[in-house]
Copies of this chain bind each other. A is one copy, B any other.
Amino acid sequence: MTTSVRPPRADAARNREALLAAAEAEFAERGIAASVADIARRAGVVKGTVFRHFATKEDLIAAIVIGHIATLSDEARKLLGASDPEAALREFLTVAADQRHQHNLTFLQTASAGNTAVLAARDELIGYIGQLVDAARAAGAIRADVTAIDVFLMMCAPIHIMENSSDPSPSLWQRYLGILFDGLRPEGASPLTQPAPSKP
């Protein structure tokens, strides 16, 4: 019976959440240089406890990244039934960029690159993106030669572009999302010399 009460689990779960939140905050403030010790302190636990929950600093990063990807998957799923497929795709990209911007964590992506759990979450997200893209393409809202993988790969570009600026206005990414989205539309699309990637 897994329904039997196990109070310690509640504590552990709370610690896990506290750690994820603390880690996000520390990484946002101090970049990849955030230390496990600082994260533990911020979460109100001791260093050893971090490693009980996440075998490795990399695992902790992966858990954060997976959380963000899952949020995006949820968002994409919600948008699947939308009546305007173009608006739905645009909304998804807006939400994705906004999330990346608010949790200034693009660098964590790199740090969790090969992690298999991240890859699985990513593939799930790409599935949802595929459905958004297919609907938009069917509605003539985006060019024919653009794929789900393309959109997934381009998802963070507005934030990356913005990060090249020394002192950007906080919503500057919207400008570049606009330009990018125009590039995705069928009007004025010129043929692409490179084929779409088969794997993300």
Of A58-66, A71-79, A171-179, which binds chain B? A171-179
Question: A185 within 8 Å of B by Cβ?
Answer: yes
**How many monomers of this chain does the complex have?**
4
Question: A164 within 8 Å of B by Cβ?
Answer: yes
Determine the distance from Cα of A123 to Cα of B38 in the docked complex, in whole angstroms.
35
Chain B residues within an 8 Å CB radius of A117? none
Determine the distance from Cα of A161 to Cα of B158 in the docked complex, in whole angstroms.
10
Chain B residues within an 8 Å CB radius of A8? none
The minimal Cβ–Cβ distance linking A157 to chain B, given in whole angstroms, is 5
Are A196 and B175 neighbours in the complex by a CB distance under 8 Å? Answer: yes
Determine the distance from Cα of A175 to Cα of B193 in the docked complex, in whole angstroms.
6
Question: A168 within 8 Å of B by Cβ?
Answer: yes
Chain B residues within an 8 Å CB radius of A162? 153
Determine the distance from Cα of A4 to Cα of B159 in the docked complex, in whole angstroms.
52
Are A153 and B161 neighbours in the complex by a CB distance under 8 Å? Answer: yes
Of A13-21, A106-114, A132-140, which binds chain B? A106-114
Q: Which residues of chain A in 142-200 are interfacial with respect to chain B, using CB atoms and an 8 Å cutoff? A: 146, 149-150, 152-157, 160-169, 171-172, 174-176, 178-197, 199-200
Are B187 and A187 neighbours in the complex by a CB distance under 8 Å? Answer: yes
Among A157, A162, A165, the most chain B Cβ lie within 10 Å of the Cβ of A157
Are B197 and A168 neighbours in the complex by a CB distance under 8 Å? Answer: yes
Contact status of A192 and B180, CB under 8 A, knowing A166-B199, A197-B169, A200-B166: no
